[in-house]
Structure 1
Amino acid sequence: MTPAGGAGTGTDSERLGWPKRFLVRLLHVYFALSRGMTLGVRAACFDEAGRIFLVRHTYVPGWHLPGGGVERGETAIEALFKEMREEGNLEAVSDPELFHVYFNAKVSGRDHVLLYRADVRQTAERPADREIAECGFFPLDALPDATTEATRRRIAELRGEISPAHYW
Structure 2
Amino acid sequence: MALPHRIAARLARLYWRVRRPRTLGVRALVIDQHDHVALIRHTYITHWYLPGGGVKKGESFADALIRELAEEVALHPVTVERVLGVYTNRSEYKDDHVTVFVVRIERPADAPLMAADSWEIEAAGWFPLDALPEDVSPATLRRITEYRDGRNGNYGDW
Equivalent position of 2:143 in the other structure = 154
SS in structure 2 at match of 1:77: helix
- Residue deviations 1:95-131 (CA, integer Å, cap 9, x gap): 3411110000102341110000000246985246111
Inter-partner Cα distance in structure 2 for 1:167 and 1:51: 25
Which residue number in structure 1 is paired with residue 27 of structure 2? Answer: 42
**Amino acid in structure 1 at the alignment position of 2:147:** L
Matches within 5 A, 1:48-127: 48-121=33-106, 126-127=114-115
Q: State the alpha-carbon separation in 2 of the partners of residues 46 and 124 from structure 1.
A: 13
Of 38-47 and 125-134, the range deviating more from structure 2: 125-134
Do 2:28 and 2:50's aligned partners in 1 also have CA atoms closer than 8 Å? yes
Aligned counterparts of 1:147 and 1:16: Cα–Cα separation in 2: 20
Equivalenced residue count is 153
| Aligned equivalent of 2:12 | 27
Question: What letter is aligned with 1:155?
Answer: I
Of stretches 37-46 and 127-136 in structure 1, the one that deviates more from structure 2 is 127-136
Q: Distance in 2 between matches of 1:125 and 1:161?
A: 25
Secondary structure class of the residue paired with 2:58: coil
User: What 5-or-longer segments of structure 2 have no aligned partner?
Assistant: none
Distance 1:114 1:167 in 2: 12
User: Which residue in 2 is equivalent to 1:135?
Assistant: 124
Q: How far did residue 93 of structure 1 move?
A: 4.2
Q: Which sits farther off after the overlay, 119-128 or 104-113?
A: 119-128
Contact conserved, 1:89 with 1:124, CA < 8 A, in 2? no
Letter in 2 for 1:164: G
Distance in 1 (alpha carbons) for counterparts of 2:83 and 2:93 = 22
Which residue of 2 is the match for residue 164 of structure 1? 153
State the distance in 1 between where 2:86 and 2:141 align.
Answer: 16
Distance in 2 of aligned mates of 1:97 and 1:134: 26
Code of the aligned partner of 1:126: M
The TM-score normalised by the length of structure 2 is: 0.82
- Helix, strand or coil: the match of 2:76? strand
CA–CA separation in structure 2 for the residues paired with 1:16 and 1:42: 22
